[in-house]
Amino acid sequence: MHTDAYAHLPDLRDRLTPADQSAVRATPETLALWDQRAREQGLTDDWRLSDQRLEDTRRALLGDFNPPRDLWVFGYGSLMWDPGIHFAEVRRADLPGHGRRFSYRTIMGRGTPDCPALTLSLEPAAACCSGLAFRIAADQADAESALLWRREMLRDGYRPALLPVATPQGEVTALVFASNHAHPDYVGAMSLVDEARIIASACGVIGSNRDYLVQVAAQLDRLGIADAYIRELQALVDTITDA
């Protein structure tokens, strides 16, 4: 095992938010802040899954980590620059049969109930989705996956699965958060123009929807990943905001 987490991707060393500086590391304190913000927006206590439900769903997929074992996590959106977890290794990774799409509405973070934002999810696709794979070391996998699960599964917006992903150093099985098509906040296929209009205008307590898109595009460029969908969408958003 590599002692340097960035051995395969040294250029990312200063391009990922450290876990202890992440605003989306879902500690109890962060979760309490999110609950407070939800109440201020007029949301009821069931705006998210209960702590027990979150833990039950995590255990159902990942088990109890006894004996301890490494866990790989696939990142394709904000995880690519702000994973919010302590990891022992990061690699380039390709997930076959999927593509990133702005197909999920969010009223938290970069949106509000009056002006929801769009966030990325994974949709079935003929090609593959290129991103990053993070390895959480065995002695941290249980605790770190619990924090990650709170972040990603808070509103049950994804369907998590353990899927094979290809990396230059070999195939690994990774935790993947793909679209939950049954969720009420799932918006499905929209035109690029409609997506661009939403992304150009939405903004929330942690920043604008446009900035989210810009950060995704910048990290893909840094990794040498060509994503025609993201490139075209960013061009449309730039046209709208610069008009």
Q: Which residues are catalytic?
A: 152
Helix orientation angle between 192-201 and 228-242, rounded to the nearest 10 degrees: 60
Per DSSP (E only), the strands in the chain are 71-75, 89-106, 117-136, 158-165, 172-179, 203-204, 207-208
Residues 139/145, Cβ–Cβ less than 8 Å: no
Cα radius of gyration rounded to whole Å, the chain: 17
Distance CA 196, CA 220 (A): 19
Distance CA 8, CA 5 (A): 8
Strand ranges of the sheet holding 172-179, from the earlier edge strand across to the other edge: 89-106, 117-136, 71-75, 172-179, 158-165
Distance linking the first and last C-alpha atoms of the chain: 51
Asked if the peptide bond before residue 67 counts as cis, ω within 30 degrees of 0, the response is yes
Chain-centroid distance, C-alpha 130: 13
Q: How many CB atoms lie within 10 A of CB 223?
A: 17
Going by their DSSP bridges, the two strands 172-179 and 71-75 should be labelled as: parallel
